Chain A
Amino acid sequence: MLSLIQTALELGLIYALTVLALFLSYSMLDVCDLSTDGCFTLGAAAGAVVALSGHPLLALPAAMLAGMTSGLVTALLQTRLGIDSLLAGIIVNTGLYSVNIAVMAGASQVSLNRTDTLFTLARDLLKSTPLAGGHKLVVLAVLTALAVVLLTLFLNTRLGLAIRATGDNRDMVRASSIDPVFTVTVGLCLSGALTGLSGCLLAQYQRSAEINLGTGVLTVALASLLIGRVLARRGGILLRAAGAVAGAFLFRLIYALALQLDMPAYMLKLTSAVIVALTIAVPYLKKQYPLLLRANQGKGGKGTC
């Protein structure tokens, strides 16, 4: 049971970075970035290749840079070429499939079994300390905490405020002499970097990167983000970002428990799809409820003309 929770926590922390990326793009910029899946795989592929031929630590900035480039392309398509933001994400996602295979030198998989990863380095480093058993957890907790803190600090700078205002009221951003094109571009680049990092960590964690690693990550992360929103609806950015991380963990925990209850592993994506649909639909249905109630009472007609 304890190992179950630990694994859920580890995977939760890895995916939390993608959830933070969506926190930035979906919650702050109000842009639904559909290139997340491909970007996640890109980070995994780029990170794996660099870990293999360079150094596992070097893989982190490499994956972030790759993700940032992907975010930049998505941003340019929608801000400079007039492509609808949903379509821009889909286009980039499709293109990334080829790019990801190219990054892995034409293969659909890169194995990291025979090379050092961030986690094996940490294991060796923490060998004779009390933290020995939890070396993966330590690495991931430090990285995710760092991401939360840096993101919070950033979102309270003038540029960060401008990014938050972009999703809130673009007129007001322009009125403050700031170009929303710029804020969307910066926001999507950062979000891409976080997604890439997330993919890179997962590849090192499971010691392989493969082309389908990112499939469905967007929906899973969105489900986590929405769970996190329930946990920390109000409050400052730090609380909401921490809520997003907690949401990622909770999602993984629920999933792990469901597996214990003999839910087949392939149900993960359906589960996350249902969670996303429900979380978005419930507030809407709540609003419709009074109408249904009155129609059923038979007062004021049946709602037909």
Chain B
Amino acid sequence: MLNLTHITKTFNPGTVNEKTALRDISLHLDRGDFVTVIGSNGAGKSTLMGAIAGDFLTDSGTVELDGRDVTLAPSHLRAKRMGRLFQDPARGTAPGMTIEENLTLAGGKGGWFSRTSKTDRSRFREILSQLDMGLEDRLRQPVGLLSGGQRQALALLMATMETPDLLLLDEHTAALDPQTAEKVLAVTRRVVEENRITTLMVTHNMTQALTLGTRTLMMDSGSIVLDIGGEERKTMTVEGLLAAFRANVGRGLDTDRILLRPEGE
């Protein structure tokens, strides 16, 4: 499904701010994989997402999606087949437009001059009601009036309305309060499972990284230092993960921003 080969990216080359964010990253995701990514600040997690989504041109390496080389494709073209959510709930939706207008734009059905039809509206109501947030009765309200959690849930619906080949989640629950985060996560899990969407999710929560999905990657200074799946992952604990990190990298993980335990404990 997704195939990265020898991706390298250095920002501000030749200056004092030079930073190699990705070092020779190769990664393969099979259809239906749900991969979690964890790592300390500056490990390159978000840059990896950016490289896949096409925010910038990589220095070297190729990005293949479903057998097609998309290395040089601009982000809006890749978006046809990729859904993406950011940490900031504001980035996924247009605040000045209504819920209905946002969904129409994301829905992608019809040509340039198509308008929101009754069928569209009832479809919107139906998928919104699955969120259980009462948004189905607020179609005509501007998205700017919604809470962060509601906006993020809406953004998730928008990103997955046309089932994408790949879903990129960049700490999409990190800015929400624990309760809302749990709810958005539940919706994420359901949408991903129902549609069998290949998913890459960055998280700052160790437990989440191990319990969600089918495979866990750990990144450090631009490289993937741990790749755990299958039986090994089922028995892995947070302590085990930290020990494995120490063994592979030669020092302890900087855990300032990482939650070692489930939130709320």
For this complex, into which size category does the number of interface residues on chain A fall? 20 to 34
Q: Given contacts A159-B112, A159-B113, A165-B105, is CB(A172)–CB(B76) below 8 Å? A: no
Tell me whether B97 and A168 are in contact (CB under 8 A).
yes
Tell me whether B97 and A165 are in contact (CB under 8 A).
yes
- Answer whether residue B116 sits at the interface, using C-beta atoms and an 8 A cutoff: yes
Chain A contact residues, majority secondary structure: helix
Expressed in whole angstroms, the Cα–Cα distance for A174 and B82 within the complex equals 11
Q: Given contacts A156-B116, A165-B97, A177-B76, is CB(A172)–CB(B92) below 8 Å? A: yes
- Answer whether residue B24 sits at the interface, using C-beta atoms and an 8 A cutoff: no
- Answer whether residue B111 sits at the interface, using C-beta atoms and an 8 A cutoff: yes
- Answer whether residue A53 sits at the interface, using C-beta atoms and an 8 A cutoff: no
- Answer whether residue A260 sits at the interface, using C-beta atoms and an 8 A cutoff: no
Interchain nearest-CB distance for A130 vs B (Å): 38
- Answer whether residue A129 sits at the interface, using C-beta atoms and an 8 A cutoff: no
Tell me whether B76 and A169 are in contact (CB under 8 A).
no
Tell me whether B91 and A169 are in contact (CB under 8 A).
yes
- Answer whether residue B75 sits at the interface, using C-beta atoms and an 8 A cutoff: yes
Contact of A177 among B80, B95, B101, B102 (CB under 8 A): B80
Interchain nearest-CB distance for A103 vs B (Å): 32
- Answer whether residue B173 sits at the interface, using C-beta atoms and an 8 A cutoff: no
In A149-195, the 8 Å CB interface with B consists of 156-159, 161-162, 164-165, 167-169, 171-180
Interchain nearest-CB distance for B80 vs A (Å): 4
Contact of A162 among B75, B95, B105, B116 (CB under 8 A): B105
CB-defined A-B contacts under 8 Å, sample of 24: A156-B115, A157-B114, A158-B104, A158-B114, A158-B115, A159-B113, A161-B101, A161-B105, A162-B105, A164-B97, A165-B94, A165-B105, A168-B94, A168-B96, A171-B86, A172-B106, A174-B79, A175-B83, A175-B158, A176-B108, A177-B76, A177-B77, A177-B80, A179-B74
Chain B residues in contact with chain A, CB under 8 A? 74-77, 79-80, 83-84, 86, 90-97, 101-102, 104-106, 108, 110-116, 158-159
Given A173-B105, A175-B92, 9 extra CB contacts under 8 A? A158-B105, A158-B112, A164-B96, A165-B102, A168-B95, A171-B91, A172-B92, A177-B77, A180-B76
